[in-house]
Structure 1
Amino acid sequence: MSAPADEEAPLPIPNLSLPQQVFVLSNPALSERHEAARKELIEGIEKDEMAPYLEILLSASPSLISPDAALLPKLIAANETELAKFDAKLVEAEESMGETEISDILRAKAAYLTKIGDKTRSLAALELALEKTPGLGARIDIVLTIVRVGFFFNDIELITTNLPKASKLIDEGGDWDRRNRLKVYQGLHLLTIRDFKKGGELLIDALSTFTASELMDYDSFVTVTVISCMVWMERVDIKKKIINSPEIRQVFPTQPALESLATSLYNCEYAAFFQSLATVEQNHLIPSRVLSPHARYYVREMRIRSYSQLLESYRSLTLDSMCRAFGVGPEFMDNDLSRLISAGRLNCTIDKVNGVVETNRRDKKNAQYEQVVKQGDLLLNSLSKLSKVIV
């Protein structure tokens, strides 16, 4: 395997669809997806000769995929043969070739170890290749490969350590393509830590220039972009940047629930919005390795968005009219609103006697005044404690 040149697209290694299949198989609630996930996982492991990764899976949960007993020995033998070839080439290069040839072989060996899912040895090989590689573009690609290893094994520390390294290298003279790919890496990481706003801003900015197919395919990229942006984007921008986006519109026919989520919220069709939100939760949030931990949070925040949008248009609404608008029963609406009001997430009150929801409108000046008073109280308390320590 030859190492990719600076101008070539990075290799899609390790295969990030495989830990997604492991996630599906590990979730009993997704049992209807297990057969397809097991098939894709085994095929991916066999194709990339992933003996080290298969050993990890068998050690953690032997019954997870139950591969053919002959598969692991076959893959181990294939790995040993291929790595022996790299070692022989490296010896020959060190004896009779220059630094460029040595660098190429080191990068190729690191790529193979990354592809087969050998975390420890691949990281060591990637660090060595990074040290021996002179080209800035190739060095950026190596660091981004390390980040992908972090994504593959869900190693947050590895990701957070190497994303700034990649950013620094790109600032030193990285090209336009790598700068745009880095946005996708950063955006995906921010989604994993529930920063949908910053992550969504990066993803939507990379929408028309997406080339990071080593991370995910284009349809998946559009899906996570729409989901991450819907939770914070202003209504006018939802129309401009999502509903009317040509890049997103070409994917909408295959993802009707996503289209309905955006258009129904924008058009104030709240019953349709609730239905599409439930579909997105079941089809895109819960089954996703990245988004599943944030599914409940996301659904709650989207409900708050829709309630707030409706209540902003009225001083008061009957509870019955809200139930009709959202297509839910009065008990659900009363309980949901009550929880959100008590948590300070909705500026309204419920008059249960008359069955009316009344909106409490706070202008910006009053809100700023309350914030200043609150911060002033905190400052005075801190000064009081400090004075006691000094005395």
Structure 2
Amino acid sequence: MDGGGDEGQQERHLVLAHKLFLLARPDVDDLSKVALRAEVLDAVKSDDMAPLFESLTASGLLEPDAALLAEMRGRIDEETRKLDEKIVDAEENLGESEVREAHLAKSLYFIRVGEKEKALEQLKVTEGKTVAVGQKMDLVFYTLQIGFFHMDFDLISKSIDKAKNLFEEGGDWERKNRLKVYEGLYCMATRNFKKAANLFLDSTSTFTTYELFPYDTFVFYTVLTSIISLDRVSLKQKVVDSPEILAVIGKVPHLSEFLNCLYSCQYKSFFAAFSGLTEQIKLDRYLQPHFRYYMREVRIVVYSQFLESYKSVTMEAMAAAFGVTVDFIDQELSRFIAAGKLHCKIDKVAGVLETNRPDARNAFYQATIKQGGLLAEPHTEAIPCH
């Protein structure tokens, strides 16, 4: 867990954030939690994260230890005093760039020990002493990392806007490309999967944001968001045939089958791969809040694709294609038809599905009429895949 931001090295506080997320999950087994608790405590101790230690003991995730807390607090006070001395020395004896460096060092120290408000305040002070656009951008990236650690979406959103404004003054392509991945992650974490997919796809060949996550995790997110956002032609062109994605998709269990079985209409294998991926989606701190929504959206995509080939099809044939029971398909489709998500109707007596896809003009007219109603439509809960 040493360092962060080097190539291939995830920022250590984001590694810690994922462990904290797993530690709080009821579906992680107790034995794993014993190991996680030890790793979290090591991380907290190695960075003197006194504020985090206090909140973790208050919530019962770690055992209270007054002596340890006092030691950490003592070291933070001592180090802050030294950093302040360096700032005074730089102001009295050195130039502007050294003053900025001394303030930046204090900002990074507050980030390290997990003093969120002090870190943000100190980053603002450092920004006031920063002239170069690239260096200002780097301060925004530090702020974004704090935002993702705390899942502070307001801070993330404001920082992304700030970064975009900075780019109007200049800024290099490398940082612009990095920002796309940060914004994509924000969009995914706030359920804007379509925008996330577009931003991720723009970054597959320029990815350098190892501080956020490894490249195979990036590909996992790209495939997941693309499947529910792109039409078949775009999916083939941008994802199925992408050399960058092909190079690593095999590293993520079930992901290649999930993508390719959907594209090649092998629905039974697709569902098997999908159920294999559900655990990984559930145990991802950015995706877990959208788990049910995502499960539902994927099934709408796959049922729509299946039904597109038919004017009418028996329920039995569809159930057989998906490797599920007729009852299951009946329940699933009834729910999606009622919600206006699938264009077909069920003839219960004949056991047949009739598709009634509206033509483009009619669809546009219907969409215009229903726009207000659709926004207010309640989420239907997902049924777990069989």
Same fold (TM over 0.5): yes
How much identity, in percent, do the aligned residues show?
A: 42
Task: Give the residue type in structure 2 aligned to 1:246.
Answer: P
Report which of the two structures shows the higher radius of gyration computed on alpha carbons: 1
Indicate the residue corresponding to 1:154 in structure 2: 151
Determine the C-alpha separation between the residues in 1 that align with 2:101 and 2:34: 40
Which string of whole-angstrom CA distances, capped at 9 and with x for unpartnered residues, describes residues 216-254 of structure 1?
222221211111111111222222222222222222222
Structure 1 counterpart of 2:118, from 116, 121, 136 = 121
The 1:357–1:256 alpha-carbon spacing in structure 2 relative to 1, beyond 3 Å, is same
State the Cα distance separating 1:371 from its structure 2 match.
Answer: 4.6
State the Cα distance separating 1:24 from its structure 2 match.
Answer: 1.1
Determine the C-alpha separation between the residues in 1 that align with 2:282 and 2:231: 25
Task: Give the residue type in structure 2 aligned to 1:249.
Answer: L
1:13–1:145 contact (8 Å) kept in structure 2: no
Indicate the residue corresponding to 1:387 in structure 2: none
Determine the C-alpha separation between the residues in 1 that align with 2:234 and 2:195: 15
Corresponding position: 1:41 with 2:37: no
1:14–1:148 contact (8 Å) kept in structure 2: no
Indicate the residue corresponding to 2:377 in structure 1: none
Determine the C-alpha separation between the residues in 1 that align with 2:285 and 2:33: 14
The residue matched to 1:211 in structure 2 has which SS?
A: coil
Task: Give the residue type in structure 2 aligned to 1:313.
Answer: S
Corresponding position: 1:364 with 2:360: yes
2:10–2:214 contact (8 Å) kept in structure 1: no
Determine the C-alpha separation between the residues in 1 that align with 2:322 and 2:116: 49
Structure 1 counterpart of 2:340, from 320, 344, 350 = 344
Determine the C-alpha separation between the residues in 1 that align with 2:202 and 2:119: 32
Which string of whole-angstrom CA distances, capped at 9 and with x for unpartnered residues, describes residues 40-66 of structure 1?
32232233232222222222x12x133
Q: Which runs of 5+ in 2 are unaligned?
A: 372-386
Determine the C-alpha separation between the residues in 1 that align with 2:26 and 2:370: 47
Corresponding position: 1:290 with 2:286: yes
1:14–1:115 contact (8 Å) kept in structure 2: no
Structure 2 counterpart of 1:84, from 72, 81, 84 = 81
Determine the C-alpha separation between the residues in 1 that align with 2:182 and 2:38: 28
Determine the C-alpha separation between the residues in 2 that align with 1:309 and 1:171: 42
Which string of whole-angstrom CA distances, capped at 9 and with x for unpartnered residues, describes residues 345-379 of structure 1?
1111111111111111211122234456678xxxx
Determine the C-alpha separation between the residues in 1 that align with 2:247 and 2:76: 41
Indicate the residue corresponding to 1:385 in structure 2: none
Indicate the residue corresponding to 2:140 in structure 1: 143
State how 1:218-229 maps to structure 2 within 5 Å.
218-229=215-226
State the Cα distance separating 1:69 from its structure 2 match.
Answer: 6.4
Determine the C-alpha separation between the residues in 2 that align with 1:78 and 1:185: 33
State the Cα distance separating 1:312 from its structure 2 match.
Answer: 0.5
State how 1:372-391 maps to structure 2 within 5 Å.
none
1:18–1:41 contact (8 Å) kept in structure 2: yes
Answer with 237-246 or 22-31: which moved more: 237-246
Instruction: State the Cα RMSD in Å.
Output: 2.2
The 1:92–1:282 alpha-carbon spacing in structure 2 relative to 1, beyond 3 Å, is same
The 1:366–1:141 alpha-carbon spacing in structure 2 relative to 1, beyond 3 Å, is same
State the Cα distance separating 1:130 from its structure 2 match.
Answer: 0.7
Which string of whole-angstrom CA distances, capped at 9 and with x for unpartnered residues, describes residues 263-301 of structure 1?
010010111111111221212x11111100111111111
Determine the C-alpha separation between the residues in 2 that align with 1:218 and 1:374: 40
2:80–2:106 contact (8 Å) kept in structure 1: yes
Determine the C-alpha separation between the residues in 1 that align with 2:25 and 2:150: 17
The 1:85–1:109 alpha-carbon spacing in structure 2 relative to 1, beyond 3 Å, is same
Determine the C-alpha separation between the residues in 1 that align with 2:367 and 2:352: 29
Q: Which runs of 5+ in 1 are unaligned?
A: 376-391
Answer with 328-337 or 30-39: which moved more: 30-39
Corresponding position: 1:192 with 2:189: yes
Task: Give the residue type in structure 1 aligned to 2:47.
Answer: D
The residue matched to 1:317 in structure 2 has which SS?
A: strand
Corresponding position: 1:321 with 2:320: no
Indicate the residue corresponding to 2:24 in structure 1: 26
Indicate the residue corresponding to 2:57 in structure 1: 58
The residue matched to 1:233 in structure 2 has which SS?
A: coil
Tell me the matched-pair count: 366
1:170–1:178 contact (8 Å) kept in structure 2: no
Task: Give the residue type in structure 2 aligned to 1:199.
Answer: A
The residue matched to 1:358 in structure 2 has which SS?
A: strand
Task: Give the residue type in structure 2 aligned to 1:53.
Answer: L
1:200–1:229 contact (8 Å) kept in structure 2: yes
Determine the C-alpha separation between the residues in 2 that align with 1:276 and 1:251: 17
Determine the C-alpha separation between the residues in 2 that align with 1:322 and 1:34: 42
State the Cα distance separating 1:15 from its structure 2 match.
Answer: 1.3
**Normalized against structure 2, the TM-score is what?**
0.89
Corresponding position: 1:243 with 2:240: yes
1:14–1:152 contact (8 Å) kept in structure 2: no
State the Cα distance separating 1:80 from its structure 2 match.
Answer: 2.6
The residue matched to 1:357 in structure 2 has which SS?
A: strand
Task: Give the residue type in structure 1 aligned to 2:282.
Answer: I
Corresponding position: 1:166 with 2:148: no
Indicate the residue corresponding to 1:130 in structure 2: 127
Corresponding position: 1:15 with 2:13: yes
The residue matched to 1:354 in structure 2 has which SS?
A: coil
Determine the C-alpha separation between the residues in 2 that align with 1:372 and 1:72: 60
State the Cα distance separating 1:111 from its structure 2 match.
Answer: 0.8
State the Cα distance separating 1:68 from its structure 2 match.
Answer: 6.6
Determine the C-alpha separation between the residues in 2 that align with 1:374 and 1:58: 50
Indicate the residue corresponding to 1:208 in structure 2: 205
